[in-house]
Amino acid sequence: MKRILAVGLGGMIGSLLRASIYMAVAEGLGLWLVNIAGSFLIGLAAVRLTRKSAELRLLISTGLLGSFTTFSAFSADWFHQLESSIWWGLVFAMTMTVACIAAAGAGLWTGRKGVPS
């Protein structure tokens, strides 16, 4: 039960943070910010939280960061881009995907710096 509550609490916080960023920045930029920043933080958390409790890992990784990032909004935006131009839609999807994977890799690399093996 504690694990479910940890995911729920993290999910509530993450979705509120995402909504706050969406409201604070120019339309369209929020999706990029949350997905790239969230990917970096998930990479970082994957390294830094390995020795922490399951509840803390679930709260941060699954709950907070899982609800902060948004694949569903990315998918909806991608289809919107495809409607205007198939080429722009493909560029949008490829750049978002590459940027998020690179950010996750940077988070892993950053998390490993200074951590004894």
Binding residues for Na(+): 66, 69
- Any alpha helices (H) in 25-85, and if so which ranges? 29-48, 54-57, 66-68, 71-84
* Tokens describing residue 14: 């993450």
Spatial CB neighbours of 25, under 8 Å, sequence gap ≥ 6: 33
Instruction: Give the CA distances from residue 28 to residues 20, 22, 42, in Å, rounded to whole numbers and listed in that order.
Output: 14, 8, 22
Detail the residues annotated as belonging to a binding site.
66, 69
Token pair of 7 as six digits: 């995911």
